[in-house]
Structure formats: C-alpha cells, structure tokens
Amino acid sequence: MSKKAPNYISTTNACKLCTPLGASIAFKGIEGAVPYLHGSQGCATYMRRYIISHYNEPIDIASSSLSEKHAVYGGGANLKLGLINVTKKYHPRIIGIATTCLTETIGDDVQMFLRQFDQEVEGEKPIMVHVGTPSYSGSHMEGFHDAVTSVVDTLAGVNEDNSKKKKVNILPGFVSPADIRYLREIAEDYSLDATILPDISDTLDGQAAKTYEKIQPGGTPITEIKSMGSRLASIEFGHTMGERSGGTILAEKFGVPNKRILHPMGISATDKFLDHLSMVSGQKMPEKHKGERGRLVDSYVDGHKYIYGKKAIVYGEEDLVVGLTGLLAEIGVMPVLCASGGKSGLLAEKITEATDGNLPEQPQIHEGMDFYDISELAEALAPDLLVGHSKGYGLARKLNIPLIRVGFPIHDRMGGQRILHLGYRGTQQLFDQIVNACIAEKQGDSPIGYSYM
C-alpha cells in the first residue's frame, strides 16, 4: 500500500492552486455573476490570466485593489467602492465575493461590511454572496466547494412550481464545460429537469457573439438556485469536499435527499450514476445510453491488449484522481502513483472504493504532493504514461512518456474546456486517447514503422 511520501519543507512546482481561484471559477458558473476578490489587485489579475489561458474566454474578476493604508485601517471602504463600481459597470445579478489571505489576516469582517453596504447604498443592488477563502488554508478545491456551499446556503429556498417534469439538483464539482453539457443531456434523456450548480458550460465556453457581453450569458439561473430546496433529490459528485456542502445543506434545511457519488468516470462509476438516475426518475436506461455503453465495452475489448499492465501516474484534484484511477483500474492500466496537492485525508480510502478490487497491486497514494515529489517518486516507478493537467508536461518530457491531458489547467493545448471526462462518452474519449497514446509510443519506438497495429 502507500509508502512514505517525501516530506520537504518547501514546495516546488505545486500541484494545487489557491482557494480564491476555485471560488472564482465556481462563481463564474452562476447566471449574471461577477466574481470579486477582496484583496490586493494582483490576486485577481494573476487568477484571470491563469483561467483565461485554459478557457480562452474573457474572465473578469473584480478586486478591491487594497493598498497599504487599507491593510492597516481595514478594507471596508474599498470593498464597498468596488461593489458600487462593479454594479455600475457590469449590472450583475449577483456578486460572488471571495476573500484573500490579506483580508483574512487583517481580520476584515466582510459580512458586516455587506450589511453596512446594504443600509448605506440605495436602489436596487445585486445579490451578494460571500465566501471566506484564505489561501493559506486548503487548495482551489476547498475554495470551489465553499463557494458553492455559500451560494446554496445564501440563496436556496423552497419554491413550488407546477411543471410535470421531475426536478433534481446536480452538484458536479469542478468539471469541464463539455462535461456539464453532457450531464444536462443525460438528465434530459431520463426526463429529469436538472439544476446544475455551478454551470460553466456557456460562461466558460462561450460562442462568438454579435456584441461583446459584459457578463457571458449562461450559468445556473438564480431563480433555479432559489428553488433547489424543492427538488426531488440532489446528486453530488466527489467525496473529498468535507461534511458541509451544497448537497448536505439542501438535505438539512429542506430535506432534499442527497446522494454523494464518485465522479462517473469509467463504466462502473457511470453505471452507478445512471442507476441512481433511474431510481430517481423511475425510468430505465434509455436506448441511447445503452448504445453508448455497449460501444464502450466493445472498444474496451478491442483495445485491451495495447494497454494491459501499462503503468500510470495520476495527479491533480483529489476527486478527479479518484475518478481517473477507477477508470484506469477497470481497463487494465496499473496506477502506480496517485498524487494530489489537496489534503482531505480521504484520498486513499476513496481510491480503494473506486478501484473496487480491480487492482492486483495497490498504487502509492499521497496527498499534499508537489511536482518535485511526484518527479522524485516517478524515477523508481518508471511509468508508461501520465494522466493529469498540463503542468505535468515537464515531467512527461523528462521521462519521455505520453501525457493524457485532463482536468484543469490545460495551458499548452487548445480545447481544455471541451475535454469530456464523464459518463460513457467521456470514458470512451479518454479510453481511445490512452490506447492511441500507447500505440503511438510503440509505433514511434519501432525501427520498422508499422502501418497496421
């Protein structure tokens, strides 16, 4: 099982991002929202640049642009000024306010500032949602989940409507715009009306528009968020976000049954997801999905010999690593190291659950890792491929092995926002990619130059 992880004091080439970045992305998935960082100017700008390089979309994140005097006397005045300016320029429906390490440390009471703002400023104001995201605590995934939790906690309520369709909440975590589009399609195929929170499918993968949109259209509609307490059920992807989450709040406050499941990656995990949809909707698996599943199984058989026993290192956000490891285990690829910069304390347990006895040997599983640690372990593990985001490219290059790009960020290829990870269809794409990467390696290494494989 898990060997001892390297234990360095310094962090080199981190395998995680900071909390406010995750919160900003989550806020981008809400209709009419502008993310706002209460801190100094640099945080917003750095994160904008980082996020733009993945999604290739305008990412406007406002900032209170605090200076030295605010750090000494408090940032309240600038927070309020910033909120007024954002309201004037963007006319947002909602402003998602995340703190930074600066404002958390100087002890700014954002809730109090917001109450004051509400009293001091007249006229119609956007909804304000606040989340505490000190970047010295947790990673971008805590920021993401905490922002979702705050949105639910602040906005969700009960709102009966007369539509005949069964309605559910899906809290998919940090997945791609393509994943969210596909989830919506799946839900529709089960005749379910899904509120997906957050929904970055349009806001972070927009169309070429006729006029420039100050806030990209799309995102989870606020009216729907307000009705999340009236839904039949909530489905939440991932297990490492801690006890308090959007789904658990909906269960506690409104009695909406919450089901936490593994990210549906691979056949087994997707089966469980679709079984659950069947149960909620009362419908059997639609023919279309039976077809997708059947073709996927067929391709598993066609491709299995090219990949059996190949050793993989999987890294990235914990829930994604869990999902990917489950997928690799069921196609005969051997994960030798599963690594994350996150530190939920649950990674090993959830990987065991996801691999479900499919692995002849257990991989090393380590939390709190950076790329220096991963690289150091990789030397002895001699992997055949890496599976993770584009920051592993340097390691893949050093080891001269293929990198299967998944997750966030993808900074060195087009289309990171369109990578499909979930369901039978996402698994199909990843499977083809993995098999082809292995075939390409063999073909490239061969002196013969096989033209049939």
Partner 1 sequence: MELLKEREEQVHRTGDHPFTLTCNKDSLAGAVSQRACVFCGSRVVLYPIADALHLVHGPIGCAVYTWDIRGALSSGPELHRLSFSTDLQEIDVIFGGEKKLTNALHELIERHNPKAAFVYSTCIVGIIGDDLEAVCRQVEKEVNIPVIPVKSEGFKGNKRAGYTAACTAMARLIGTGDTSGISKYSLNILGDFNLAGEIWIIREYFERMGVEVVANITGDGRIADIQRAHGAALNVVQCSGSTMDLARLMEDEYGIPSMQVSYFGVEDMAQALYDIAEHFGDPDILERTRELVREELEVLLPKLEFYKKALTGKKAAIYVGGSFKAFSLVKAFRLLGVDVLMVGSQTGTKKEYEELAAITDPGTIIVDDTNPLELTSFLEEKPVDIFVGGVKERPIAYKLGVGFCDHNHERKEILAGFVGMLNFAEEVYSSVMSPVWRFTCQKQED
Pairwise CA distance, residues 348 & 437, whole Å: 27
Indicate which single residue of 30, 32, 33, 70 sits in contact with partner 1 (rule: CB under 8 A): 70
Task: Return the residue of 3, 67, 308, 356 that touches partner 1, per CB under 8 A.
Answer: 67
- For 367-438, list the strands marked E by DSSP: 385-388, 403-405
Nearest-approach distance from CB 141 to partner 1, in angstroms: 13
Instruction: Identify residue 164 by its one-letter amino acid code.
Output: K
- Piece in contact with partner 1 (CB under 8 A), picked from 55-63, 115-123, 255-263, 319-327: 55-63
Contact 179, 421 (CB under 8 A): yes
Amino acid at 109: D
Q: Does 212 bind partner 1 (CB under 8 A)?
A: yes
Is 106 a residue that touches partner 1 (CB under 8 A)?
A: yes
Q: Which is nearer to partner 1, 12 or 111 (CB)?
A: 12
Choose which of 23, 26, 33, 59 interacts with partner 1 (CB under 8 A). Answer: 59
Check residue 123 for interaction with partner 1 (CB under 8 A). Answer: no
Q: Does 62 bind partner 1 (CB under 8 A)?
A: yes
Please report whether residue 60 would count as binding partner 1 according to CB under 8 A: yes
| Residue 84 C-beta: closest distance to partner 1, Å | 7
Can you tell me the distance from the alpha carbon of 62 to that of 43, in angstroms, rounded to the nearest whole number?
Answer: 10
Q: In the structure encoding, which two tokens stand for residue 68, read together?
A: 């030295």
Q: Which is nearer to partner 1, 81 or 297 (CB)?
A: 81
The nearest distance, CB 391 to partner 1, in angstroms, is: 7
Residue with tokens 């929170």: 197
Rounded least distance, CB 27 to partner 1, Å = 14
Q: Which of 26, 33, 86, 347 binds partner 1 (CB under 8 A)?
A: 86
Residues 373-412 that bind partner 1 (CB under 8 A): 391, 394
Longest CA pairwise span in the chain (Å): 77
Distance, CA of 250 to CA of 266 (rounded, Å)? 28
Of residues 7 through 46, those in contact with partner 1 by CB under 8 A are 8-14, 16-18, 20-21, 36, 39-46
Q: Which of 33, 71, 78, 24 is nearest to 52 (CA)?
A: 24
Measured from the CB atom, is 258 or 417 closer to partner 1? 417
Q: Does 61 sit near partner 1 (CB under 8 A)? A: yes
Distances in whole angstroms, Cα of residue 360 to Cα of each of 1, 120, 336, 366, 386: 11, 64, 11, 19, 20
* Dihedral sign, Cα of residue 114, residue 118, residue 119, residue 121: positive
Instruction: Pick between residue 85 and residue 111 the one whose CB is nearest to partner 1.
Output: 85
Using the structure block, give the residue that is written with the tokens 């023919």.
287
Looking at the Cβ atoms of 136 and 450, the one nearer to partner 1 is 136
144 binds partner 1 (CB under 8 A): no
Among 25, 28, 30, 50, binds partner 1 (CB under 8 A): 50
Question: Torsions phi, psi of 58, nearest 5?
Answer: -65, 130
Q: Are 60 and 80 in contact (CB under 8 A)?
A: no
Number of residues that bind partner 1 (CB under 8 A): 72
**Which of 23, 25, 33, 47 touches partner 1 (CB under 8 A)?**
47
Quick one: which of 26, 27, 33, 64 contacts partner 1 (CB under 8 A)?
A: 64
- DSSP summary character for residue 363: P
Q: How many angstroms separate the CA atoms of 207 and 209, rounded? A: 6
Site for partner 1 in 236-295 (CB under 8 A): none
In the bound complex, what is the minimum distance in angstroms from residue 215's beta carbon to partner 1? 10
Q: Which two tokens stand for residue 55?
A: 């999604």
Asked whether the CA dihedral 333, 335, 341, 343 is positive or negative, the reply is positive
